[in-house]
């Protein structure tokens, strides 16, 4: 492959401060058309400590045949490799998505759910809300960011950064109970969460562990679970359970004050559960994935980490929401290969043309795939750092009908 010098990036500096003296040089390959409106290219970026190898998808949202959606394995509390998600859905390209509940070593006996951190919207269906900020997995967020932050594409076919806040209520004879979670692996202290058939068979015990500010805090000893089927209470219990939620049913889980209020419900009583994710944009989001902002208005945000070097994944927006950039670094580190800090990732996305961008799950999760166009199916373009793909809860999927144009170059 012939590499051509493409642009020069300022070196990483302190968050919001002056850049380092050394420059970082980016060499980009020729872009290959994956499908109408979708191109793929690789790049090498030289930084003072070594070479970064990365992979970039550029998605033209003005192309009528192009669409973007959330890929997930049929349940919120489940995981699957990105290549499997892409192949099963017919996507022509994809990159891994949100951070997720990857382990529970701090809570012996409690199973990790595999569920993502932030809100999720797939094909216009609102799948889940955001866990409390202190319950998230992933690098420290910059000031002002929250687990409610998402990257999405609206009904207007434009990409944007947004913030999805849950608005929900449980209506019962005893009164109106606030709903503070939907299909989440963690609930706020004193909260009540709803679990639907979209949650899957994963245990709901994790939802009552930790606190709003400390993910590792002990599980709450004060819990309750209520099953509502076709609008009436059919069971009231103590510990959160596991197993799939039947269609037509909703399982309510409460902790502390939320548990006390759920225990006041009785079998046979009518109960209604309603909720929605409310955004701040002009059009409803048809697709949304959780991720914290690293670029806003064509500038890296203040307070990004400038120390920790890792394999990274990002999604960015350019040209007024008409272009989507999906990037994943190569995980084959060592022998002069290196990763990026979050600040360096923001500077890279800014130089690539992203006016806004988010940080997605990185490390062993970073995976970018495309349809290889010759009938061989999906190809993993980067080298996942664990030596094989890590199963993840969701991915950003790109769709474009028509056979990929192998070897076509811009």
Mean pLDDT score of the chain: 92
CB under 8 A, 24+ apart: contacts of 280-284: 280/162, 280/163, 281/152, 281/154, 281/160, 281/162, 282/154, 282/156, 283/154, 283/155, 283/156, 283/158, 284/124, 284/154, 284/155
pLDDT digits (tens, 9 = 90+) for 281-314: 888 999 999 999 999 999 999 999 999 999 999 9
DSSP label at residue 220: P
Q: What is the pLDDT of residue 307?
A: 96
Name the residue with higher pLDDT: 277 or 26.
277
If pLDDT is split at 50, 70 and 90, which confidence band does 1 have? very low
Is the pLDDT score of 23 beyond 80? no
- What average pLDDT score do residues 351-378 get? 92
Residues 111-133 have pLDDT tens digits of 999 999 999 999 999 999 999 99
Give per-residue pLDDT as tens, 222-271. Answer: 999 999 999 999 999 999 999 999 999 999 999 999 999 999 999 999 99
pTM to 2 decimal places? 0.92
């Amino acid at each position: 492959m012939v590499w051509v010098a493409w642009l020069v990036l300022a070196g990483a500096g302190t968050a919001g401060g002056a850049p380092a003296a050394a420059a970082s040089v980016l060499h980009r390959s020729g872009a290959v058309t994956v499908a109408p409106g979708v191109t793929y290219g690789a790049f090498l970026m030289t930084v003072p400590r070594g070479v970064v190898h990365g992979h970039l998808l550029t998605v033209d949202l003005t192309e009528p045949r192009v669409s973007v959606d959330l890929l997930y394995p049929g349940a919120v509390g489940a995981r699957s490799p990105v290549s499997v998600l892409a192949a099963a859905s017919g996507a022509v390209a994809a990159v891994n998505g949100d951070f997720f509940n990857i382990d529970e070593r701090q809570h012996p006996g409690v199973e990790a759910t595999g569920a993502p951190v932030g809100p999720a919207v797939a094909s216009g269906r609102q799948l889940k809300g955001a866990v409390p900020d202190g319950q998230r997995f992933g690098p420290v967020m910059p000031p002002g960011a929250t687990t409610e932050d998402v990257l999405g594409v609206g009904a207007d076919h434009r990409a944007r950064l947004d913030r999805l806040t849950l608005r929900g209520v449980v209506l019962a004879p005893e009164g109106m109970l606030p709903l503070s979670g939907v299909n989440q692996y963690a609930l706020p202290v004193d909260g009540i969460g709803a679990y639907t058939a979209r949650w899957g068979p994963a245990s709901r015990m994790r939802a009552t562990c930790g606190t709003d500010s400390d993910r590792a805090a002990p599980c709450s000893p004060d819990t309750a679970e209520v099953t509502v089927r076709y609008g009436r209470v059919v069971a009231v219990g103590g510990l959160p359970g596991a197993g799939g939620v039947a269609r037509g049913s909703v399982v309510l889980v409460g902790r502390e004050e939320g548990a006390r209020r759920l225990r006041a419900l009785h079998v046979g009583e009518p109960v209604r559960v309603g909720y929605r994710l409310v955004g701040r944009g002009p059009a409803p989001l048809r697709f949304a994935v959780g991720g914290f902002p690293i670029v806003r208005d064509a500038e890296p945000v203040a307070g990004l980490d400038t120390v920790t070097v890792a394999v990274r994944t990002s999604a960015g927006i350019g040209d007024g929401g008409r272009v989507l950039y999906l990037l994943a670094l190569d995980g084959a580190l060592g022998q002069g290969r290196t990763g990026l800090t979050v600040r360096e990732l923001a500077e890279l996305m800014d130089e690539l043309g992203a006016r806004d961008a988010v940080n997605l799950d990185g490390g062993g999760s970073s995976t970018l795939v495309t349809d290889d166009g010759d009938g061989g199916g999906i190809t993993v373009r980067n080298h996942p750092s664990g030596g094989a793909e890590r199963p993840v809860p969701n991915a950003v999927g790109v769709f474009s009908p028509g056979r990929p144009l192998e070897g076509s170059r811009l």
